[in-house]
Amino acid sequence: MLEITKNYVMDENQQPIAVQIPIADFEKIEEILENYGLVQLMEESKDEERLSKDEAWKYYQYLKNKNVES
């Protein structure tokens, strides 16, 4: 299990309003979410036409870059 170091940000009433985490923890969470999303897409498309490894990689990079731009 991923152990996450958290720092809580409080408002003037000492109510938590945000959480700070180390960038390494954030990147690990991001990787886990991407992998989960890829598995879900693979399951949804198991009956569709298959892409070659190179085609799949290019499409993945396209989607990733498109997501960063928006």
Whether 29 is covered by a domain: the verdict is yes
Q: What is the pTM of this model?
A: 0.57
Whether 23 is covered by a domain: the verdict is yes
What lies within 8 Å, CB to CB, of 4 at 6+ separation is 21, 25, 29
C-alpha 27/C-alpha 29 separation (Å) is 5
Whether 36 is covered by a domain: the verdict is yes
pLDDT band of residue 1 (cuts 50, 70, 90) is confident
Host H or E run for residue 19: strand 16-20
* Structural domain count, the chain: 1
Whether 2 is covered by a domain: the verdict is no
Host H or E run for residue 8: strand 7-10
Whether 57 is covered by a domain: the verdict is yes
Whether 20 is covered by a domain: the verdict is yes
User: pLDDT tens digits, residue range 10-46?
Assistant: 999 999 999 999 999 999 999 999 999 988 888 887 7
Provide the residue range defining the domain that includes 36: 7-69
Whether 1 is covered by a domain: the verdict is no
5 three-class SS: coil
